[in-house]
Structure 1
Amino acid sequence: MRVVIIGGGILGTAHALAAVGRGHEVVQLEREAEARGATVRNFGLVWVSGRSDAEVEISLRSRRLWEEIGGKVPAVGFRPAGSITLVRTEAELAVAVSAATGPTAAERGFELLDPERVRALNPPLRGKFLAGLHCSTDAAVESRQALPAVRAYLAATGRYTFHAGAEARTVTRGAVTDDHGRRFEADLVIVCPGAAHSGLTRELAGELPVRRVRLQMMQTAPLGEPLTTAIADGDSFRYYPGFAGAQLERLNREESQTFTAARHRMQLLCVQRLHGGLTIGDTHEYEEPFAFDVDEAPYEHLTSVVEELLGRKLPPIVRRWAGVYSQSTDPAAIVTRVRAADDVWVVTGPGGRGMTLGPAIGEDTADLLNL
């Protein structure tokens, strides 16, 4: 088949990978010179630990797919580093104990570690904490270089073409026309618009059951020592469905976040890039219109939390940024797929799970469409 994919982010590229892998010819259009949305403004985490029980299977399957991709395309920077969620209060510890003894703990690779074992696994963690919830199945990729590397791999097959700076303007039966006036014949069109819910997306699919979420993140200069796992703090329990239960309800009831953390709906996630710097975040903002600038208070809070856990000063902050991703409003929906016409599908709304679940979502769409 001739498949045209609109959107150069992780979902679009994952669908291209699935289609080419099944023998089809793919043309992918990206309106920017390079994908610049949530795909590159994230941690690069393949995050199994916090997914709901219903999402464990797809999360682990996607993680295996990332490992396969990393084996074929080393430049994506896949590494099975795992994660440690560090808890600092008794209420957070209770949530961690519940997760480590829950019905899916073995599948997720959960193990509760005392501070000594945490430091043996990840020596830079010399700060203050009561315990660490280790998840051995979590992994990471390099979000800023993964997609160009995958595209180069796809191009080498001879059945894939990427057009940058090409905005799709019309989708008619059997063809897509871009803003250069080029016409691309298509047996199937898959639109992966990310957080661009208006314009062509609305024209094709109407009002989608999705919302946009804004986040703030930052990156440091090289740490000077290897942070062997990703790390999170106990506030992250509040934002992941995999930790739901009586212990989390008690945490939310008995221990409110600091004013800054609560106001910005914050959690700490931190992962070391291959160049040695740390990517640190993040915040959650749901009410539009979003500000065009960034707020300094979250960065100060995140810096203080990381320094408390590391027991040292952070290297200088070299980058700060905001990003926006698309999230399905149905909490049970992993992604929103809408059939806009017989041969046109719109796929968006994985929330903050795009990098984690992208490869599996692409494969599932291919199965759904009998590619």
Structure 2
Amino acid sequence: MNTLDRTVNQTDIAIVGAGIVGLAHALAFAKRGYKVDVFERNPYAVGASIRNFGMIWPIGQPKGKLRDRALKSREIWSEVAPKAGFHLDRCGSLHLAYREDELAVLEEFVASEADNRAIALLTPNEIAKKSPAVNLDGLQAGLWSATEMVVDPREAIKKLPGFLAKEYGVEFHFNTVVTKIEYPNFTAAGKNWTANEHIFVCSGSDFETLYPEVYQKSNITKVKLQMLRTVPQPNNFRIVSPLCGGLTLTHYSAFADCPSLPTLTKRIATETPHFPKWHIHVMVSQNAAGELIIGDSHEYSANPEPFDKAEINNYILDYLNTFVRVPTLKIAETWNGVYAKLPGATEFIAHPQAGVTIVNALSGAGMTLSFGLAEEIALVNN
């Protein structure tokens, strides 16, 4: 590691982007003793990292490398949350089954995870003890998983930079756009910098500014999702755990090998074709303020329209009402988020120059996977 001349703009590790991917890499390298500088074009991160459920969701990742990465991320979230001063709820999760094909998928999944003590198939009575928000009418069973956690992404993403600066001396340069990289040199807000070790480009859905030719060859695209947030639930009502229904089983790769999944997918497409049309699956989490975060849909396009569709929000809320019973669903906010996705891959990693690594397209699982992925990359580059 080089000893830096503090009279010029130098660092060991330069990171472009202060979303969760960039923050995870800042932590991974700073705790190994590197001098880290993070460059963010906005006053604070405003992209997909603050526009999601805030769920750390290992149950959605298949066994093996991705599940291990998610569990490593979970471990790191647990370590940094109390130090950074943001709320983290170790709440677990519930997948609810109301139809025979949904139940079949859950049974097959549990059978394939016989060595996983963190999950269990629960009866309706057992589910009622877990959460008072579950609609018990017609409920056949539910998958309980103990590994899931929830943060408020708006709070966490704003507080993590202060923690990294105080604990590890990471320097943040907000309102600062990196416009050119010729390793080891780069230009940020018109100033020349040198990164003596490595540059990481973690720019999320903004992949037009740096290395656009690399992205154009990659088949990367953008995904727009629609989400909603309720007013706080009255009388401190808590759903306790995030809840989801049968649609979610068709979304996450953890369930992809269940033999009954094609039957479930076909039935959904036949009965409710609007769900696969807009790639809707419905989940609900709750933050410390008591607000419910509800979503979501997925529109794939290189240039998603900025306009939200009321019909999609209605589809989401109508489906939510089939498995959730809460005091109020009065909506306080609606919004959309856009993230990068590389079809058929769990992340996009490229090396456009020696000393430069692009890390992007965590396929909407940035909160779940970023910390673990950054640890893997830091080990390789250390």
For residue 155 of structure 1, give the secondary structure of its aligned residue in structure 2. Answer: helix
Name the residue aligned to 2:97.
Answer: 87
Relative distance call for 1:106 and 1:295 in structure 2 (3 A) is farther
Name the residue aligned to 1:222.
Answer: 232
Matched, 1:235 2:235: no
Matched, 1:369 2:381: yes
Equivalent residue for 1:249, pick from 235, 253, 262: 262
Distance 2:114 2:248 in 1: 17
Relative distance call for 1:105 and 1:285 in structure 2 (3 A) is farther
Moved more, 193-202 or 358-367: 193-202
Matched, 1:63 2:74: yes
Contact 2:124-2:136 within 8 A present in 1 as well? no
**Letter paired with 2:200:** I
What displacement does 1:289 show? 3.4
**Letter paired with 1:311:** R
Matched, 1:337 2:349: yes
Contact 2:222-2:303 within 8 A present in 1 as well? no
Distance 2:145 2:224 in 1: 27
Contact 1:205-1:340 within 8 A present in 2 as well? no
For residue 318 of structure 1, give the secondary structure of its aligned residue in structure 2. Answer: strand
Contact 1:170-1:200 within 8 A present in 2 as well? yes
Matched, 1:297 2:311: yes
Name the residue aligned to 1:327.
Answer: 341
Matched, 1:346 2:334: no
Q: 1:48-94, CA deviations, whole angstroms, 9 ceiling, x for partnerless residues?
A: 1121223221111211121122243231x222111101111111111
TM-score by length of 1: 0.93
Relative distance call for 1:324 and 1:157 in structure 2 (3 A) is same
Structure 1: which 5+ runs fail to align? Answer: none
Distance 1:101 1:193 in 2: 40
* Aligned positions of 1:1-371 closer than 5 A: 1=1, 2-54=12-64, 55-75=66-86, 77-102=87-112, 104-107=113-116, 109-128=118-137, 129-157=139-167, 159-179=169-189, 181-187=190-196, 188-202=198-212, 207-224=217-234, 225-244=237-256, 245-256=258-269, 257-312=271-326, 314-329=328-343, 331=344, 333-370=345-382
Contact 1:222-1:315 within 8 A present in 2 as well? no
Contact 1:83-1:231 within 8 A present in 2 as well? yes
Moved more, 46-55 or 350-359: 46-55
**What value does the CA root-mean-square deviation take over the aligned residues?**
1.8
Structure 2: which 5+ runs fail to align? Answer: 2-11
What displacement does 1:267 show? 0.5
What displacement does 1:343 show? 1.2
What displacement does 1:40 show? 0.5
Distance 2:92 2:181 in 1: 42
Relative distance call for 1:302 and 1:158 in structure 2 (3 A) is closer
Contact 1:209-1:336 within 8 A present in 2 as well? no
Distance 1:348 1:295 in 2: 27
**Letter paired with 2:350:** V
Distance 2:206 2:373 in 1: 19
**Letter paired with 1:326:** A
What displacement does 1:106 show? 4.0
Contact 2:227-2:336 within 8 A present in 1 as well? yes
TM-score by length of 2: 0.90
**Letter paired with 1:355:** M
**Letter paired with 2:75:** R
What displacement does 1:209 show? 4.2
**Letter paired with 2:33:** G
